[in-house]
Amino acid sequence: MNLPLFGSQLIGFKTSRDNEEFIYGVDPTTGKELQPGFAIASHGEVDRAVLRAEGAFPVYSRMSGAMRGRFMRRIAEELEALGDQLIARVMQETGLPEARIVGERGRTCAQLRMFAEVAEEGSWVDARIDLAQPDRLPLPKPDIRRMLVALGPVAVFGASNFPLAFSVAGGDTASALAAGCPVVVKAHPSHPGTSELVGRAIVKAAVGEGMPDGVFSLVHGGADVGEWLVSHRGVKAVGFTGSLKAGRALADLAAQRAEPIPVFSEMGSVNPVVVLPGAMGDLEALASGYSASLLMGVGQFCTNPGVLIGVESEAFDQLVGKIAEKVAAAEPGIMLNQGICNGYLQGVSERGKHEAVEVKGMAVAAPGMASGVVFSTSGQDFMVDSSLQAELFGPAALVVRCSSAEELIEVVRDLEGQLTGTILMGDGDEELAGTVASALRDRVGRVIFNGYPTGVEVCDAMQHGGPYPATTDGRFTSVGRAAILRWARPVAWQGAPDWALPEELRDGNTRGIWRRVDAVLGRE
């Protein structure tokens, strides 16, 4: 039986509707509005959501990792229980195919269960203990114990391109809840129905597992609602996935607060792919691999490989020609919403008029749809004009033709911050590949060898973040277990009696977590 959609805010365990001004989901395949309308949150509703989160924080942050873990596992179960209704609504609001959405739901639930494990196991708090040395000369050493604790309520902004895995119950929410932070989510206006279904699943899980009222809230609206949320004194950190313009605006707003707070924005990245001479053995396979990665999901991935860099040669020219043929032969695709499509088409039009850019291949355009395109420029022109490094969010590639290996290295060193950098290499490329990898290390969050950046494994070692403008803080990741570290801060206890310490720092280590005692890692 399908759940009715109310189109209201979820303020803790209650629904709320102060306004009669609505936003609507739109089916991108038809352009038709979807019912019902979703009320835009009032300033008062945003305030109440954050106040509820503030009230929940002292209780939720001090709950055991086991209790938080059960809550997160229950969220995954409730998402799965939504069944076909959730899949159908996501398809309506995004135009994404069923198989993609089913896979994304699986990723979302697996991510929730992974962070449940992180909370339950507990070693993420990075406990460090320096035992007292009362007889040390010339001064005694005090007992000092340090660990990470939750920051406070977190504001999360849902992403347009991943309506489940980077949205209401996505990685930002999951990692924040695991850390002990209540979450207030601003739903993405492109998929409000999806957001409500997922939000209600979280609320149901919270009630069922005895979580404090306010551990989760969901609000709808536009830029004003987001600004109110980030400006609220009760919010202590922000998670965002989206455009450079919006992500930077939120970071600037947070920095101007009386109490500045961290904003973890994942923004623009062109994810350069560097092709070395030894990789040119099978040009057909190389062209197929690159074009498939470029065109995947109509290019609407933050890891889309938007720049291809190589040294001019007959083989490289042939490779570019084959890629251009494959892109030109691809069917136009429906983008997630009309705003994204319009932005892509405008960006393609402007780049096509650039005097230093040549169009090598373009698929036949269709009204309201996105066609793949391959542009080309020289290494020198790429370095002179920084606008050529701007992300075109969609299936667009820019080939950068370098006159020599030395210029190729210069181009790589001139890159802005990126999420990923890829090296395609073969036998005999080891020395040049080493130099390229060293240069990429200073520019990207993940260096990939002989693969493609689309596809981000959810695992302990993943780094999904990079230097600005890829993110606002390249020291952290938004994917993988380490994503929890964004929502915590260190606190030290000096000379505290055992009873006054958090369980993780007490003598005996009853939780059995990994700790550093006098700089030695162990479970004692």
AA letter at 53? A
Tokens linked to 101? 């959405």
Specify the DSSP element, H or E, that contains 186: strand 183-186
- Helix 65-81 crosses helix 83-94 at what angle (to 10 degrees)? 80
Q: What is d(CA 438, CA 446) in angstroms, rounded to the nearest whole number?
A: 12
CA distance 58 to 73: 22
Contact 116, 178 (CB under 8 A): yes
CB atoms near residue 145 (< 10 Å): 23
Q: Which helix (H) or strand (E) holds 280?
A: none
Contacts of 328 (CB under 8 A, 6+ apart): 361, 362, 363, 364, 372, 374
DSSP alpha helix (H) spans, 167-260: 171-179, 192-208, 223-231, 244-255
Q: What span, in angstroms and rounded, lies between the C-alpha atoms of 444 and 446? A: 6
**What secondary structure does DSSP assign to 487-508, as a single string?**
GEEEEEEES--GGGS-GGGSTT
The question of whether 98 is a catalytic residue gets the answer no
Q: 123: closest CA among 518, 519, 509, 520?
A: 509
How many whole angstroms separate alpha carbon 294 and alpha carbon 307? 10
The alpha-helical segments, DSSP class H, found in 263-303 are 283-295
Measured N-to-C along each axis, helices 283-295 and 314-329 cross at an angle, to the nearest 10 degrees, of 40
Query: Is 302 an active-site residue?
Result: yes
- Give the contacts of 349 (CB within 8 A, at least 6 positions apart): none
Quickly list DSSP for 432-463: HHHHHHHHHHTTEEEEEESS-SS----STT--
Beta strand 237-241 pairing with 216-219: unpaired
Distance CA 479, CA 22 (A): 33
Q: What is the DSSP letter of 42?
A: P
- Identified catalytic residue from 93, 266, 407, 504: 266
Give the span between the Cα atoms of 356 and 214, in whole angstroms: 54
| Pick from 50, 51, 20: nearest CA to 37 | 20
Tokens 């040395």 appear where?
Answer: 133
Measured between alpha carbons, how far is 465 from 486 in angstroms, rounded to an integer? 12
Q: How far apart are CA 511 and CA 524, in angstroms?
A: 10
User: Cβ(23)–Cβ(189) under 8 Å?
Assistant: yes
Q: Among residues 302, 341, 391, 407, which one is catalytic?
A: 302
Active-site residues, by number, are: 266, 302
